[in-house]
Amino acid sequence: MTSSENKAAARQSEGGVTKPIRKVVIPAAGLGTRFLPATKAQPKEMLPLVDTPTIQYVVGEASAAGLDDVLIITGRGKRSIEDHFDRSFELEHSLELAGKTEELELVRSISEMVNVHYVRQGDPKGLGHAVLSARQHIGDESFVVMLGDDVMDPKAEVTKNMLAIHAQTGYSVVALKEVSPEEISSYGCARVETDDDGLVRIMEIVEKPKREEAPSNLAVMGRYVFTPTLFDTLAETPPGRGGEIQLTDGIAALMSKEPVYGYVFTWGRYDIGNKLDYLRATVEIALSREDLGPPFREFLVDLLQTDLDSQHV
């Protein structure tokens, strides 16, 4: 066993089980260039899906998975994220005076969801660099990373299932989803092997490979569970693709020290930084809402019918 494998085994043997994870890091310091001009003066993580900012869905998913200590990595132009999770005394007072109790409870519940802390990344030097800036807050514990622009359908329970694999193995777990060969060059890509217990072990991982060089069609999605050993490997990871410190390169280095597992899921993920996925998320979430679903469905059916009719004239 290597020393970091020993450490992981020790973590696992504490009381016979791994210590429950409570901390989650949400990187939200990126520039959001794929969503310009909307992201020129506002963070993409604050883009609303119907009436709720993207990052609130992510924090809600963390809270549902039992993660109550949230560290958001922010940067320049991201103040509105901090304001959103803070108390808003003026607004609360006005709502109280106007007798708008439902709205008041809604506003209050946001600041009471979880404990939120912030670290600024300074220069957005890549996702690996963003995660490394969480080191002091996390300390020597395993933790979760959830990308601030990736929304998961709560029914898919992706983070919860990943935490179960970590509790079983004591090691890191990376969310993976099959994508088409045309799409693989936009993602980290992993080659895996499944062991006798049905656990998926990552054997190779590369950042944004060319289609013809991709070792598989399994793409890395924005959910991770990490042992603290990741910080040691990230600290030694040189800038990679695009001159940025890539989280994928840090994971590849971690794999040379200890096992890293995969959790393969098939549905329920939206990349809000991608315009088409943003539209898909908006429509699907609106359709699933009790208050908006029925009239919105009617509107969509009419719209499609009118569109079809116009093509046949």
Residue numbers of the site for ligand UTP (CB under 6 A)?
27-35, 45, 73, 121, 124-127, 129-130, 147-149, 273
Nearer to ligand UTP, 46 or 65 (CB): 46
Nearer to ligand UTP, 134 or 200 (CB): 134
- Provide, rounded to whole angstroms, the least separation between the CB of residue 32 and ligand UTP: 4
Q: How far is the CB of 75 from ligand UTP (least distance, A)?
A: 7
Q: How many CB atoms lie within 10 A of CB 144?
A: 24
Q: Of 129 and 166, which CB lies nearer to ligand UTP in the complex structure?
A: 129
| Nearest distance from C-beta of residue 44 to ligand UTP, angstroms | 6
In the complex, what is the shortest distance from the CB of residue 54 to ligand UTP, in angstroms, rounded to a whole number?
9
What's the min distance (Å) between Cβ of 92 and ligand UTP?
Answer: 29
Tell me the helix, strand and coil percentages in the chain, rounded to 5: 45, 20, 35
Nearest CA to 178 out of 170, 194, 190 is that of 190
DSSP code, position 300: H
Query: What are the CA-CA distances from residue 57 to residues 61, 86, 139, 146, 268 (Å)?
Result: 6, 16, 26, 11, 13
Minimal CA–CA distance to 24: which of 92, 72, 57? 72
CB of 30 to ligand UTP, least distance (A): 2
Q: In this complex, which beta carbon is closest to ligand UTP, that of residue 27 or of residue 262?
A: 27
Q: Based on CB atoms, which residue is closest to ligand UTP, 265 or 278?
A: 278
Looking at the chain, the number of H-run helices and the number of E-run strands are 12, 13
Would you say 128 or 170 has its CB closer to ligand UTP? Answer: 128
Q: Name the residue nearer to ligand UTP (CB basis): 209 or 259.
A: 209
Q: By the 8 A CB rule, do 169 and 289 touch?
A: no
User: Helix axis angle, 293-312 relative to 275-288, nearest 10°?
Assistant: 120
User: 3-state SS of 248-271?
Assistant: HHHHHHHHCCCCEEEEECCCCEEE
Residue nearest to ligand UTP (CB): 30
- C-alpha distances out from residue 74 to 26, 122, 130, 223, Å: 9, 8, 9, 18
Judge contact between 189 and 214, C-beta under 8 A.
yes
Residue carrying structure tokens 């600024």: 120
| Smallest separation, CB 174 to ligand UTP (Å) | 14
The C-alpha atoms of residue 308 and residue 282 are separated, in whole angstroms, by 23
Q: How far is the CB of 46 from ligand UTP (least distance, A)?
A: 11
Pick the closer one to ligand UTP by CB: 141 or 277. 277
Distance CA 298, CA 145 (A): 38
